[in-house]
């Protein structure tokens, strides 16, 4: 039951990123996203991923890996679209 709750929470965390990633990709604009927030969130996801591996927690590993991937895509788009707007 605990693993199911963890997987459900992780799934919702991942789904929460999809609208922002999609909007940033389709509008080709990330000017309203804070780079500080993106870096802090990415660092947090990487640390949670590491913790998940060390504690052998599958829900944490899956969630943090996907969260880090989504967040990385936002960081990349933020940098890319900033260069394009100049």
Q: What is the pLDDT of residues 20-77, one digit of tens each?
A: 999 999 999 999 999 999 999 999 999 999 999 999 998 899 999 999 999 999 999 9
- Asked if 13 and 49 count as a contact pair (C-beta separation under 8 A), the reply is no
Output the CA–CA distances (angstroms, integers) from residue 23 to 29, 39, 54, 77, in the order listed.
8, 19, 34, 11
Residue 46's φ and ψ, nearest 5 degrees, are -65, -40
**Domains of the chain, residue spans:** 34-86
d(CA 18, CA 21): 5
pTM for this model (two decimals): 0.87
> Please, where are the H alpha helices in 1-86?
2-27, 35-55, 58-84
């Amino acid at each position: 039951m605990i693993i199911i709750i963890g997987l459900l929470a992780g799934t919702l965390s991942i789904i929460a990123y999809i609208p922002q990633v999609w909007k940033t990709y389709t509008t080709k604009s990330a000017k309203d996203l804070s780079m500080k927030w993106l870096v802090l969130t990415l660092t947090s996801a990487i640390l949670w991923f590491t913790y998940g591996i060390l504690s052998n927690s599958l829900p944490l590993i899956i969630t943090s890996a996907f969260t880090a991937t989504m967040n990385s895509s936002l960081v990349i788009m933020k940098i890319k679209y900033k260069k394009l707007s100049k």
